Structure 1
Amino acid sequence: MSRPRLAGRSAAAVVAGLLLLATAAPASSAVTSSTTAGDVVRSATEADLPAGGITVTGETSPIHDPALIVDEKSGTWYVYSTGLVNREKGGTIQVWSSHDGGTTWKSEGTVWDEIPAWIDEHFSDGDLPGNLWAPEIYEHDGTYYLYYSASRFGTNNSVTALATNTTLDPSDPEYEWVDQGAVVTSPNPIENGKTFNAIDAGIVEGDDGRHYMAIGSFWYGIFLVEIEFPGGKPVEGALADAKHLVDRFMPGNPVEAPYIYEHDGWYYLFVSFGFCCQGENSTYQVAVGRSRDVTGPYLDKEGRDMFGGGGTILLEQHGAIVGPGGQSVHDGVLAFHYYDAANEEIPYFPTLGLQRLGWADGWPVVDQTVEVPMLTTAPSDASARRGRIASFTATAAGTPRPVVEWEVSYDDGATWQAPVKGQPATSDGGTSTLRVRATPDTDGLLVRATARNAHGTATSEPATLTTRR
């Protein structure tokens, strides 16, 4: 079977209240943010960063099948994800960005306004795809290659296609995703006449400089197809010569989303076992095997070949994280989606998850400790003379390390608004400080802090700012 469709709703609708604050708050320039001592924005490549879950905030839903990449020039993190269903906002691949090391995310819109016409022509003999799926983003020689899939739901009538760009920055005048057409299609036969599903591409370079695409979903499982650059498409005879990497030899063969990542002389094949896209009933798990050769065989920690049922479970349901999978890996960070049991507004909405991988005895490890956030230090009432700065501080504990988010109220708590100049950063120790300039308009301002991680929230009682003459 092919990947089911996810329930559609614009991420903008979820966070619309937070996006209107620039015009809602009086004397908005009085509210500022402040990092605490030693708190800096760092990139994913820094080895001193602790392994474990990264708490994400901002616009993080609906994100499905996240492909993570970090712009080496700007340090900006980007995630490309499956498009919205029923062609909402065109149904094309979504783009998200973070400028603070993967913590705070915002939507950058979609790659295109509509699905390319040639895809509709490809599927013109029946139902048309409602959205584009499962992107992969790869940089080669200064060009970015965006692979994406389209499929007829419930079949392996599928195509993986390619678009290219010279920049990831949507504000760059040169920013344009140029469609390069189909890369591989199914139900064409692959190695030894087997059937496969041409979705879920993942690109990897072998130690001999040759490039490969891992691809597949259910059916006969996961295959490795050689490709070549600068075209980014399969070499001649690549399907017939494909390597068959994963087959679970069980009813339905529930495996998909292959991604191969090189670390310390080993190639690690990450896949998703189980079923996605069923909300609280989703059974996705991230499994892994490794090989010294990019073409396999890939064995799990017990020495079982992934071609034949092997695969060590790395990440599974824990706490409010239900059905994690659809993964990619970049600079040691595992990106995945999950169904958010802590989302009270839209339970089990598909959400971005990030884990900085640790390594033990040659194997990746993640931290699945579940500790709901708590505020160990809550903000206290503060006062300041007009024109001076008053500070409010909060410290949070929990696992993953919570992020502290601040809100203010100008109407005695009737409504609450986020600081319009952005949220203050949260230090590695869990401390965050909000700074407010004392003015006649901020006299009596209420301030509160919320500690948030993937498993829940904890909100402080309001603290009051008193402005003195």
Structure 2
Amino acid sequence: MARPRLAGRTAAALAAGLLLLAPVAPASSAPADNSAAANTSTATALGATTIATTSAATTNTPAPPIGGITVTGDTSPIHDPALIVDERTGTWYVYSTGLVNRENGGTIQVWSSHDDGVTWAYEGTVWDEIPAWIDEHFSDGDLPGNLWAPEVHEHDGTYYLYYSASRFGTNNSVTALATNTTLNPDDPDYEWVDQGAVISSPQEIENGKAFNAIDAGIVTGADGTPYMAIGSYWYGIFLVEISWPSGKPVDGALADAVHLVDRFQPGNPVEAPYVYERDGWYYLFVSFDRCCAGGDSTYKVAVGRSRDVTGPYLDKDGRDMFGGGGTILLDTHGAIVGPGGQSVYDDVLAFHYYDAANEDIPYFPTLGLQRLYWIDGWPVVDMTVDPATLTVAPADASARIGRKVSFTATAAGSPRPLVLWEVSDDDGATWRAPAKVRPTTSADGASTLTLRATPDTDGLLVRATATNAHGSETSDLVTLTVTRPGGGKR
């Protein structure tokens, strides 16, 4: 069976070749280069038998899977994904860092999925251009080329979108806010209203320590008090009290900020804090090490937990994250290079990674999703590396005019692969997804494409591709033959 490049791994609607950048390292200090070796053997406590995702066109929906979710559609370039689900419609949304050099305006991008995070579509940008007040804020030097690191939080029927702007390589940064009453871009009331600056740097915080005002993450304490976790490099991660409905810091919040994470090493490479409450514990997810370097990225996701939202956050070995602690949750493995920039929603970890399997644009920043498993109160991901293969390939088929005919393929791999179907009516010159047809997936993972035999489908070519994050395999071409009543060729 052939192994061609898989079409559709980049978003055709976006400018190909543009990379997303959200670097935050101080120009005077380089992050530690703790390269993450590909982990092809450690499958964590889940093992290689973890059940994962079904096809985007599944009809028999199983229980929510554990492990990596294989995604398809418009999944790149996505950087710093903020995942949120519209509980009214079930639509998944990801907000991500804007394109560099103000491509498409450089503002926050929006993506949606209507099948629980499997198939993604690009919805455009929050605004057509970066707000003028941000350019005024940075008017003494280089202007930001894009907006970074969104966070979306719902409170009392209002959606709060936090986003950052920064001068590359410095902590001259600002986190700002926009609000909306809906996430649906087709809703007539859809409009992100800019609410201006929330917090900026450089300025003193906690006894004169400098911080970087990007990567906001919102969490609510047990007593109902809302907080913003924020910070990147410099002195690390801080927790700042905010209030509703403004969504901005309370008076004196910076002076009373809690210092949650400091690695106490050159450059202090930690960023992207996200605090997630579950079963009476608060889990602090952060990204360690070097982002935004393509195949050389050493980004990885670490976690600690606390019974109190203000900490201290300890890792599995009891080490305080203020002082170097942090249990590594997700690291480079297989084609997933430098995962980080994470958010968590309903036990789903969203992150970006640099895609080593993308042959068109190597190491393009791509959306990653993992359904978390929990062992002894700690999150677990499955880092098994098993590229997708076809264990059963489709075969030639024939049917009389007006009858239905089916093609079946089965895939194996980890994360659980998708089977994507394509057809061609011009002898393979061009390929497309079957129109108005929904393949089905059975409990054993077999994907079946059912077509109707018509004069127009006689000679139709069909192929199936098994794909996951680590690779893909495409079947040989098979043919649909249409016959007339009585068994003769039409």
Equivalent residue number for residue 60 of structure 1: 75
Partners of 1:422 and 1:338 lie apart in 2 by: 32
Q: Does 1:186 align with 2:201?
A: yes
Worse-matched range after superposition: 271-280 or 422-431: 422-431
One-letter amino acid of the structure 2 residue matched with residue 402 of structure 1: P
Tell me the equivalent position of 1:29. none
**1:38 aligned onto 2:53:** no
1:356 — aligned with what?
Answer: 371
TM-score (normalizing by structure 2)? 0.87
Aligned pair partner of 1:406 in 421, 433, 440: 421
Report deviation, 1:459.
0.7
Give, in angstroms, the shift of residue 413 of structure 1: 2.0
CA distance in structure 1 between the partners assigned to 2:344 and 2:184 by the alignment: 20
Correspondence list, 1:63-142, <5 A:
63-142=78-157
Secondary structure of 1:12's aligned partner: coil
Q: Pick one of 360, 376, 381 that aligns with 1:366.
A: 381
Q: Distance in 2 between matches of 1:387 and 1:422?
A: 16
1:196 maps onto 2:196 in alignment: no
Partner of 2:3: none
Question: What is the alpha-carbon distance in structure 2 between the residues aligned to residue 164 and residue 425 of structure 1?
Answer: 39
Partner of 1:221: 236
Secondary structure in 1 aligned to 2:13? helix
Confirm or deny that 1:453 pairs with 2:453: no
Pair 358,10 (structure 1): closer, same or farther in 2 beyond 3 Å: closer
Q: Retained in 2: the 8 A contact 1:11–1:61?
A: no
Q: CA deviation at 1:420?
A: 3.3
Corresponding residue to 1:444 among 459, 475, 490: 459
Select the residue among 274, 295, 307 that pairs with 1:280: 295
DSSP 3-state at the match of 1:192: coil
CA contact (8 A) 1:371 1:399 kept: yes
Q: Which ranges in structure 1 are unaligned for 5 or more consecutive residues?
A: 1-8, 16-32, 41-47
Partners of 1:71 and 1:422 lie apart in 2 by 26
Ranges in structure 2 where 5+ consecutive residues have no aligned partner: 1-9, 17-54, 485-490
Kindly tell me the number of residue pairs found equivalent between the two proteins.
437
TM-score w.r.t. the length of structure 1 is 0.91
What secondary structure, in the 3-state scheme, does the structure 2 residue paired with 1:441 have?
helix
Determine the C-alpha separation between the residues in 1 that align with 2:443 and 2:93. Answer: 22
Q: What SS class does the counterpart of residue 332 from structure 2 fall into? A: coil
Shift of 1:418: 2.0
Q: Give the deviation of 1:36 after TM superposition.
A: 5.6
Could you say if the C-alpha distance between residues 424 and 285 of structure 1 is closer, same or farther in structure 2, counting changes exceeding 3 Å? Answer: same
Distance 1:425 1:222 in 2: 46
User: Aligned-pair RMSD on alpha carbons?
Assistant: 1.6
1:327 is aligned to 2:327? no
The Cα offsets for residues 237-270 of structure 1, whole Å up to 9 and x where unpaired, read as: 0001000000000000000000000111110000
- Change over 3 Å in CA distance of 1:429–1:116 after alignment to 2: farther
Amino acid at match of 1:176: E
* Percent identity of equivalent pairs: 79
In structure 2, the CA distance between the partners of 1:362 and 1:435, relative to structure 1 (3 Å rule), is same
1:178 Cα deviation after fit: 0.3
Structure 2 match to 1:12: 13
Distance 1:262 1:132 in 2: 27
| Distance (whole Å) between structure 2 residues aligned to residue 230 and residue 34 of structure 1 | 38
Q: 1:402 to 1:191 in 2, by over 3 A?
A: same
Per-residue deviation at 1:464?
Answer: 0.8
Cα distance in 2 between the residues matched to 1:398 and 1:233: 46
Query: After superposition, what is the alpha-carbon deviation per residue over 1:212-235, rounded to whole angstroms, capped at 9, x for unaligned?
Result: 000000000000000001110000
CA shift at 1:434, angstroms?
A: 1.4
Cα separation, 2, equivalents of 1:250 and 1:116: 36
Q: Which amino acid aligns with 1:144?
A: Y
- Counterpart residue number, 2:22: none
In 1, the alpha carbon distance for the partners of 2:354 and 2:440 equals: 26
Query: Given that residues 11 and 73 in structure 2 are in contact (C-alpha distance below 8 angstroms), is that contact kept between their aligned partners in structure 1?
Result: no
> Are the aligned partners of 2:69 and 2:118 in contact in 1 as well (CA < 8 Å)?
yes
Residues 330 and 36 (structure 1 numbering): CA distance in 2 closer, same or farther, change over 3 Å? closer
Superimposed CA distance per residue, residues 337-367 of structure 1 (whole angstroms, 9 cap, x where no aligned partner): 0000000000000000000000001100000
- Asked if 2 retains the 8 angstrom alpha-carbon contact of 1:36 and 1:431, the reply is no
Q: Aligned equivalents of 2:56 and 2:180: distance in 1?
A: 36
CA distance in 2, matches of 1:284, 1:99: 29
| CA distance in structure 1 between the partners assigned to 2:280 and 2:211 by the alignment | 29
Equivalent residue for 1:19? none
Give the letter aligned to residue 61 of structure 2. Answer: D
CA–CA distance in 2 between the matches of 1:74 and 1:344?
36
